[in-house]
Chain A
Amino acid sequence: MKLYDYVLSPSCYKVRLMAALTGVTLDIRPVDFHPGVEHRGPELMALNPAGSIPILEDGDLVLTESSAMLVYLAAKAAPQWLGNDTAGQAARVQQWLSFSHRLTASLGAARLHEMLLRPGNIAVLQGQGTAALRELEAGLVEQQIRGQRFLASDRPTIADVACFPYVALAPDGGVSLDPYPAIRLWSRAIRAIDGFIEMPGIHRLHELKPEPVPEVGEA
């Protein structure tokens, strides 16, 4: 399975994270998104006329939407991540997968503007991002009340992987996570899952490792 990947793209990271959590090995093909704008070059445009990354190729199958890639990886390698135990749960997963596109359009665009100088009305993007974070916070509060730690279940699903990256990186776009205690708890729960990997901007959860014995005087 080949992933056309950019190391700073939260959408690409969703796929890398899902693969890491489900034990799938990806063949990573780095794309010079910045500064080279390679995703708009002839080779990648031929593969994905939308001019976006990630792109996932597996034989004849070419996927250009990250949510579809999460479904594919989970269905292939770890179906419990699909979260379709009940009709309600399956629908809730779909609800959050759709919602995740609003995170991309708001928090993701704010981050590109603030970090990589992409165009956009930053105040509007940040306002839309804040509105989306409030919805997520309210949803997570209700899940807590139901005794569930994750978006669609007490177990993590593809819905959590779809929403986590742009939320965790909201501060990169100038949107603070300080006002959202439920989001912070959820984010921590995701970062503590076995097999979790980071991307730049999301630090290692150092408390998961015991205090190391310092090595003094080594060269």
Chain B
Amino acid sequence: MTRNAMIDEWYPVGIAGQLDAHGRKTALMGEPIEVGRGEDGNAKVTGANGRALPACIRYGHVWSSLGDPQKPLFAIPEADQPGRRLVDVGVVRVRCSPLRAVENFLDIAHFPFVHTDILGAEPHTEVQNYKVEIREDEDEVWATQVKFYQPQAAKSAEGGITTEYMYRVPAPTCSILYKTCPPRPGEWDVITLFVQPLAEDLCDVWPWMALFDDETPMTDLIHFQQTIFVQDRSILENQIPGLLPLDPGMEIPTRADLTSVAYRRWLKRHGYTYGAQLVAQ
């Protein structure tokens, strides 16, 4: 039963601000679920046969699980920092493995070709060495000291800058990016990718941000992030193989791909294989 390890994880299933009493039909790992607001005002998530599923509201989203989560949802301490603007970017459906969606989020080498003139541009294609580790205490994948030249790193950026990134994977289908914050040096902007696995090859992606930016209108912030994600979408829908290969050999990693290598190793170690393939085909 390769699915079990991921069954007990939390997944995003909707925007908290859009909850209503009618409920919204969606799915989680193949099971039809309904997400609504209960009479007590809290989020209420119902699985097949009407069984009540765990539910909580955090980081602008409703979270649920088909199983029995052993831990509370991962912490993002920056989310509670005063002065940040919290941005619900909205859902985008992608016909791809939920793990592929996260892996692409961890990749910077594609910026010049897919996010041309925004997050990258030729000839600034080099990926400098950076650090990757699986932090045993937190049981998370971390990449730090990631640097990349970006023509327009954020909506608030004017002109090209070398941006510094840190990536964090605290759950199999969630990743958090900490990024140089142009208006406030010394702080990090928080950009997340929360992925709801609908099936092994289909997911709803809920990007969310916690930014220091008092200037840019909210709609511009949303549109900037939607632009970036939808540029990735056509790439994600054309990945071959569709499922993420966890065994080495099928794809050739370079130094630029060390975050992906660590992510795949961490998934395999935990048996997080929903959306993955183990045997080379």
Residues of A within 8 A of B (CB): 6-8, 30-32, 34-36, 38, 114-117, 171-172, 174, 200-201, 203-204, 206, 209, 212-219
Which of A117, A172, A213 is in CB contact (< 8 Å) with B233?
A: A172
For A35, the chain B residues whose CB sits under 8 A away are 15, 18, 88-91, 222
Residue with the highest number of chain B CB atoms closer than 10 Å, among A6, A204, A209? A204
Q: Please give, as numbers and ranges, the residues of chain A lying within 8 Å of B149 by CB-CB distance.
A: 218
Q: Closest 5 CB pairs between A and B?
A: A35-B90, A212-B123, A200-B230, A204-B116, A7-B223
B15 to chain A: which residues have CB within 8 Å?
35
Q: Of A6, A35, A114, A171, which is in contact with the most chain B CB atoms at under 10 Å from its CB? A: A35
10 contacts between A and B (CB under 8 A): A8-B227, A35-B90, A36-B219, A116-B92, A117-B93, A203-B116, A209-B122, A214-B125, A214-B126, A215-B124
Which residues from chain B sit less than 8 Å from chain A, CB to CB? 15, 18, 88-93, 95, 113-114, 116-117, 122-126, 128, 147, 149, 162, 204, 217-220, 222-223, 226-228, 230-231, 233-234, 237
**Residue in A closest to B224 when the chains form the complex, CB atoms:** A7
C-alpha gap A178/B37 in the complex (Å): 44
Q: Is the CB of A174 within 8 A of B95?
A: yes
B126 touches A7 (CB 8 A): no
Q: How far is the CA of A35 from the CA of B228 in the complex (A)?
A: 16
Q: Is the CB of A200 within 8 A of B226?
A: yes
- Given A35-B18, A36-B219, list of 10 further CB < 8 A pairs? A8-B226, A31-B219, A116-B90, A200-B226, A200-B228, A200-B233, A201-B234, A203-B231, A204-B116, A218-B149
